[in-house]
Amino acid sequence: MLELVFANLRVRPFRTLISVVGVALGVVLVVLFTGLARGMANDMAKRAANWKAEIVFTRPGAGTLDSSNSPVPTAYAERLLQIEGVESTVPVIRYITPSRKGRWGLEQIDGVDWEPFAAMNEMQILEGRSPQANDEILLDERRMVEENTKVGDSLELFGRPYKIVGVFSPPSGARVKMSLGAMQQALEAEGRSTYILVKIKDGTDVEAVAARINQELPGNKVNLTRDLIIDAQERIPALNTFLRVLVGLGAFVSTIFVLLSMYTTITERRKEIGILKSLGAPRSFIVNTIEGEALMIGILGVALGLVTSVVASQVIARSFDLVFEFSTGWVITAIVIAIVGSLIGALYPAWSASTIDPVEVMANE
């Protein structure tokens, strides 16, 4: 039977190729985009891990890794300093916008007063100085390489040029930083911030300080930085829903391509199937042969899809500011979806082929 399966695939190479590409497309949808989602989420989490602040103070409904609004009055920074156990506070505006022309993805920019932020989080300027004027910015090392720029060059933000005055390390939060005042002016959000980083005193219990903040400033949202790092993927709105939709779409694509391919193949092979049945081939043999073809298509589609995903991720990562991180779980999921989808897609054509009447076929053809 195995020889018959391979022979059937070789006889119609173009149709086999189209089916394999269809299955591969389903694999790419799952592997490539889940890798992108996971990579971007974990990249943001790693940069958040460089915060030495233990608490992120914000408002309900405002994210801390992905938000671009400014619901928190900066006056809370002074109020937080009065709470027992708090050592220092730094307001931050996180702004997210579609990338500039020539780049793909999202642009993240932090508005923050550099000196207190650097002192709190043990940051340093490798080259240049901190922003002083409202048209000056800092970039981290990776962003400098991606932009192919140097200190003194300009970068367009908010529709106007900003001068790069320094390079900071390690990466923390957004890769582009300007002063808090400059961001507030650009967004017309005077006296506002997205969140406030809170550093507690050495030896103080973090959860106890968080409880006091909740008690003295009710109605706000207090996040522990360690929790933001652990569940960063869950904090990006609708990410899990997006991934589930991708999985469903991948399964649908794999199934429908194989179903259509096998069904049209069966209509063209009625004579061959009739001959097999007239020679005594049982229905199970016909079904197993069709399912064997679908299995081989699924395996070839998985191989092509995985190779395409790896190559595409390398090209995209080198061309754009995007990070991929493939998960073994999602890769296995893509493989299972492709194989099972191929087998399910071939079920109806296989059953239809097994019911062909050899007498009718011989009489007509």
Model confidence over 277-321: pLDDT tens digits?
777 778 788 888 888 888 888 899 899 989 999 998 888 777 766
Angular region, 25: left φ>0, alpha ψ -120 to 50, beta rest: alpha
8 Å CB contact between 345 and 256: yes
Amino acid at 148: N
Amino acid at 31: V
Q: Which of 6-15, 235-244, 298-307 has the lowest mean pLDDT?
A: 235-244
Q: Which of 11-20, 85-94, 129-138 has the lowest mean pLDDT?
A: 11-20
Task: Give me 144's structure tokens.
Answer: 């400098």
Q: Report the pLDDT value the prediction gives residue 62, as an integer from 0 to 100.
A: 61
Q: Report the pLDDT value the prediction gives residue 117, as an integer from 0 to 100.
A: 92
Cα separation, 214 vs 208, whole angstroms: 10
The winner for highest mean pLDDT among 40-44, 75-79, 92-96 is 75-79
Report how far apart, in Å, the C-alpha atoms of 150 and of each of 118, 127, 132, 142, 175 are: 21, 10, 18, 12, 15
Task: Give me 327's structure tokens.
Answer: 């998960």
Q: Report the pLDDT value the prediction gives residue 232, as an integer from 0 to 100.
A: 47
pLDDT at 101 over 70: no
Q: How confident is the model at residue 95 (pLDDT cuts 50, 70, 90)?
A: confident
Q: What is the DSSP letter of 53?
A: -
pLDDT tens digits, residue range 317-362?
777 667 788 888 888 988 988 888 888 888 887 787 777 777 665 6
Domain limits, the chain: 2-41+239-364, 60-219
* Beta-sheet strands, E only, within the chain: 55-58, 72-73, 86-98, 106-111, 124-128, 136-140, 154-157, 160-169, 176-178, 192-193, 195-200, 221-224
Contacts of 73 (CB under 8 A, 6+ apart): 191, 192, 193
For residue 127, the SS3 value is strand
Q: What are phi and psi of 48, to 5 degrees?
A: -70, -25
Q: Report the pLDDT value the prediction gives residue 200, as an integer from 0 to 100.
A: 93
8 Å CB contact between 293 and 7: no
Q: Report the pLDDT value the prediction gives residue 316, as an integer from 0 to 100.
A: 78
Cα separation, 55 vs 87, whole angstroms: 11
Packing angle, helices 270-278 and 283-319, rounded to 10: 140
8 Å CB contact between 30 and 333: yes
pLDDT (mean) for 55-81: 79
